[in-house]
Amino acid sequence: RRRHTRFRNVTGVQTCALPICTTALEIDEGLRAHMSSVYGIMSAGMATTGIVAYLTGQNDALLATLFTGGLRWAVMFAPLIMVFFLGSMINRLSQTGARLAFITFSALMGLSISWIFAVYTGISITQTFFTTAIAFGGLSLYGYTTKRDISGWGSFLIMGVIGLIVASILNIWMASSAMTFAISVIGLLIFAGLTAYDTQKIKNTYIAMASNGQTDWLGKAAIMGALSLYLDFLNMFMFLLHFMGGRE
C-alpha cells in the first residue's frame, strides 16, 4: 500500500474508484459505437438518395412528368413535409418505423434532386460529391474532437436556415441569379457550421443519456442524429454544386 501511494504521488497519476472508471470506459466505447451507427444510417440514406436520383435522372420522360405541372410542387415539398413528420412523430414510432421513415424521406429527396443529372455533367456531380465528403469529414471531425463548446452556434445557425428557406421560396418566383448566388454562399457557410455543431450535439446527447442510464432511446437518437448530418451533407453538396457543377 505504501509503495502504491508513493508511486502515485511521484508520477502525479490520478486514480479513481473502479466502478467509476469502468463506467467512463463503457461510455467511451458506447460513444464510438453510437457514432458509427449514426454515420452508418446516414450513409444508407445518402446511398438511397443517390440511387433514386440517378435512376430518375436518366429517364427524360419521367423527369418531364415530375417537374412539369402541379406535380413538381409535390416533388419539391414532399421531403420537407417528411422531415417535419419524422421530427414530430419520432416518440410514437418504433425504432424500425423510424428507420423506415428515414429511408422513405431519403428516397423522396432523391426524386426531388434528380433534376441535377439533367442539368449538370456526371463528372462535375461526382467531383462535387467527393469535395463535399472531404469537407464534411473534416468539419464533423472538428465537432467531435474539439474541446470548445460550440452549442452557442445553434440559435444563430437555425435562424439562418429559416432565412434560407424563406429566401429560396421567394426566389422560385423572382428567379434572381444574384439572389441565387447569395443563397448558395450563405447556405454553404451555414451548413458547414451546422455539420460541426450537430456532430458535437450528437456526441453530448449520447454522453448525457448514457451517463443517466437512458439507453432505451439511443436507437432513435442515432436516427435523428443521422437525419441532421444527412441534411447538412446534402445541403452542402447542393450549394457547392452551384459553384462546381459543369452544366450540360
When pLDDT is averaged across residues 133-162 and rounded to a whole number, the result is 93
Q: Which of 230, 167, 200 is nearest to 238 (CA)?
A: 230
Q: How confident is the model at residue 6 (pLDDT cuts 50, 70, 90)?
A: very low
When pLDDT is averaged across residues 129-137 and rounded to a whole number, the result is 96
Q: Are 83 and 102 in contact (CB under 8 A)?
A: no
Cell 455543431 appears where? 197
CA terminus-to-terminus distance, the chain = 77
Q: Are 41 and 226 in contact (CB under 8 A)?
A: yes
How big is the CA angle at 154 (ends 153 and 156), to the nearest 5 degrees? 70
What stretches of the chain show up as alpha helix (H) in DSSP?
2-11, 18-57, 60-66, 71-89, 95-112, 116-119, 122-145, 153-174, 177-211, 218-244
Q: Are 102 and 86 in contact (CB under 8 A)?
A: yes
* pLDDT averaged over every residue in the chain: 86
Most confident region among 16-30, 68-82, 89-103, 207-221 by mean pLDDT: 89-103
- pLDDT score of 23: 66
How many Å apart are CA 246 and CA 124, to the nearest integer? 6
How many Å apart are CA 107 and CA 90, to the nearest integer? 19
When pLDDT is averaged across residues 175-204 and rounded to a whole number, the result is 92
When pLDDT is averaged across residues 25-44 and rounded to a whole number, the result is 89
Inter-CA distances, 28 with 32, 63, 141, 149, Å: 7, 47, 16, 19
When pLDDT is averaged across residues 236-245 and rounded to a whole number, the result is 91
Question: Position 226: which residue type?
Answer: A
Q: Are 236 and 188 in contact (CB under 8 A)?
A: yes
When pLDDT is averaged across residues 106-131 and rounded to a whole number, the result is 94
Q: How confident is the model at residue 121 (pLDDT cuts 50, 70, 90)?
A: very high
Q: What one-character-per-residue DSSP string does 154-193 give?
A: HHHHHHHHHHHHHHHHHHHHH--HHHHHHHHHHHHHHHHH
Q: Is pLDDT above 50 for 13?
A: no
User: Could you tell me the pTM of the whole model?
Assistant: 0.84
Q: Is residue 248 classed as helix, strand or coil in its secondary structure? A: coil
- pLDDT score of 89: 85
**Residues found in the chain:** 248
Reported as a single tens digit per residue, the pLDDT across 148-174 is 999 889 889 999 999 998 998 888 888
Q: How confident is the model at residue 204 (pLDDT cuts 50, 70, 90)?
A: very high
